[in-house]
Amino acid sequence: MDNNHLYHLYLIRHAKTEGNIARRYIGRTNEPLCAQGIAELQAKIDAKVYPLVEYVFSSPMIRCDQTRGLIYPDAPFSIVEAFAEYNFGFFENKAYDELKDTPEYQCWLDSEGKGKIPGGESADEFKARCLDGFTKVMATIETAGIRHIALIIHGGTIMALLEAYSPESVDFYHWQVKNGEGYHLIIDPLSWNKTHKAQSVTKLGINEKSAVNTHEI
């Protein structure tokens, strides 16, 4: 197929927050980027790590919206509620040392992170929500004729999407990514409609090339 018909999606994790630095479970805690996170992100922007895109989809959390505004200040965008990070419930905004002696946390660890968190989500619930959001994004870009798209989202959201859509059959945790980093998905619309798998997935690199236009959705 002509490369002009391929979709290029860039899945980018938001820059650091204070909670990320403190290694707390930051899911629905709506904290902003910290000074260190902004500085590190700006260095990546200056190094032209992030490709030009036609449109941006962002998680509703402020840390993602701020990241979007710094990387793509002039690009049209939409907020996708389904791309919000995992709801950590009882674990929210707590670090390992605060949780390690609680039976709820030990039970969750024993389930390899698959069990339902008290007051939060199970892994299956979280993944289903993320995939539903991505299905809607794909329908939107197909209708609008957009080919180069950024998703400014969370580490967990990226992991859920790639576990489902990568052509490689690898575990959820294989796709962990640092703040401000991400992956480039190439999707062939014909094979996507049959298999719901990306054609390729690569780590986001320096000076990736893409066309840039302005499309309103």
- pLDDT single digits (tens) 155-169: 999 999 999 999 988
Q: Smallest Cα–Cα separation from 150: which of 23, 74, 52?
A: 52
Asked whether the predicted pLDDT for residue 186 surpasses 70, the reply is yes
Whole-Å CA distances, 173 to 20, 76, 88, 105, 199: 17, 31, 17, 18, 21
Q: Beta partners for 186?
A: 8, 200
Q: Which pLDDT belongs to residue 205? A: 77
Number of other residues whose CB lies within 10 A of the CB of residue 127: 20
How many CA atoms, within 13 angstroms, populate the side-chain half-sphere of residue 95?
7
Q: Which pLDDT belongs to residue 43? A: 97
Instruction: List pLDDT tens digits, range 35-84.
Output: 999 999 999 999 999 999 999 999 999 999 999 999 999 999 999 999 99
Average pLDDT, the chain: 92
Asked whether the predicted pLDDT for residue 200 surpasses 90, the reply is yes
What domains appear along the chain, each with residue ranges and CATH number? 3-203 (3.40.50.1240)
Please state the rounded mean pLDDT for residues 126-146: 96
